[in-house]
Amino acid sequence: MKVLVINCGSSSLKYQVLDMTNESVLAKGLVERIGMDGAVLKHEKAGVDEKFVLETPMKDHKDAIANVLDAVVDGEHGVVADIKEIGAVGHRVVHAGEKYASSVVVTEQVIKDLEDCIELAPLHNPPNLQGIAACEEILPGIPQVAVFDTAFHQTMPPESYIYAIPYDYYTNYGIRRYGFHGTSHKYVSERAADILGVNLNDLKLITCHLGNGASVSAIKRGKCIDTSMGFTPLAGLVMGTRSGSIDPAIISFISDKEGISADEVVDILNKKSGMLGVSGISSDFRDIGEAVEQGNERAELALKVFAHQVRFYIGAYIAEMNGVDAIVFTAGVGENDIDTRDIICQELGNLGIKLDLVKNKVRGKETVISRDDSKVSILLIPTNEELVIARDTYELTK
């Protein structure tokens, strides 16, 4: 069976077509600038170097998906002879609130439940739902599955997810820690067990998804017991442009000082803070790394603040789980940034966490990077959220 995986952002759409008989990726691509001037689809067929690029107006996600499907069945660039070969579509959906702790086949009730979650993820759930609606229209009768970023974290105990604010805010408005990047944390934790040759039920893991957005999770016996993101993906670690957790009183203080609304302050915390805010240079760790090499002190400070925060969560989660067997690095920074991994792991030796500086000189490859005498294994595992979405979609619809 072939599965189409779709990940809709507000003006972009990523997709993959996988053959689930051997989990191979037949084609993948990206549509950008949906609903704007200069909309473009870039389609890659496995084994073909040259990308197929289509520049054509796409007013909404339905237009984008129609173009994706045309590319998928195209005589030259396509990977199926007939669209009926696509057995199911799997969608990444960011927020399922407390409604779903695992992936589900999309029904009218599921759509209603996800619409109820829009207020929890106003930027993310609407395009996710538009993608589902577009597929229902263009591919009627083909089952669709929703795979949620929040689902994996639903195993957290109340002491991890309850904020110490009046309890009515939780019961009335659903204000609690939800956590995000769940599909990635799940994937790398399962891979870690495979690589270590140990049953996931016997492991205590700390998974560090360090990308433009970043989060750390504590995973005990395969279940998430804590994670750094919160009610929204703004909480926890310092990120590319996001502040991560700060003293909440700062919001009204800045609002008074700058004469701007609380919403505007939160916008600054989302878009102009984090590595960009501290360094004043860029949100991209490659730019920060270059600036550090040129002796830029603010870039160095940003990197130290980031590493301090990652260590902070590693320490906290070791205490929460009463130990750790392995630490996993994944996502853009975790997979590629040798220096940042090195800085994070410095001074953790007394906890039995020893990075091998030679083995650490690697990018984007599944491998062990801890020293042989390290009590705790350190693993580099490239994440693969699309594969998790395709697997769940296949399992629920085959």
Alpha-carbon span 324 to 311, nearest angstrom: 13
Alpha-carbon span 43 to 29, nearest angstrom: 4
**Residue 337 touching ligand AMP (CB under 6 A):** yes
Min CB(196)–ligand AMP separation in Å? 23
Give yes or no: 149 in active site: yes
Alpha-carbon span 233 to 270, nearest angstrom: 9
- Give, for 216, the enclosing helix (H) or strand (E): strand 214-220
Alpha-carbon span 186 to 183, nearest angstrom: 5
**Residue 336 touching ligand AMP (CB under 6 A):** yes
Nearer to ligand AMP, 363 or 365 (CB): 363
Alpha-carbon span 341 to 210, nearest angstrom: 10
Tokens describing residue 207:
């998974």
Alpha-carbon span 348 to 110, nearest angstrom: 45
Alpha-carbon span 131 to 125, nearest angstrom: 10
- Name beta bridge partners: 220: 204, 223
**Candidate segments 11-19, 157-165, 200-208, 282-290, binder of ligand AMP by CB under 6 A:** 282-290
**Residue 284 touching ligand AMP (CB under 6 A):** yes
Alpha-carbon span 355 to 340, nearest angstrom: 12
Determine which one of 63, 82, 149, 256 is catalytic. Answer: 149
**Residue 333 touching ligand AMP (CB under 6 A):** yes
Q: What is the CA radius of gyration of the chain?
A: 21
**Candidate segments 133-141, 195-203, 229-237, 333-341, binder of ligand AMP by CB under 6 A:** 333-341
- Give, for 276, the enclosing helix (H) or strand (E): helix 274-279
Min CB(183)–ligand AMP separation in Å? 13
Min CB(188)–ligand AMP separation in Å? 12
Which of residues 212, 245, 255, 270 is near ligand AMP by CB under 6 A? 212
Min CB(180)–ligand AMP separation in Å? 12
The count of residues interacting with ligand AMP (CB under 6 A) is: 12
**Candidate segments 9-17, 94-102, 230-238, 331-339, binder of ligand AMP by CB under 6 A:** 331-339
Which of residues 180, 285, 306, 394 is near ligand AMP by CB under 6 A? 285
Q: Give catalytic residue positions.
A: 149
Binding site for ligand AMP (CB under 6 A): 211-212, 240, 284-286, 331-333, 336-337, 363
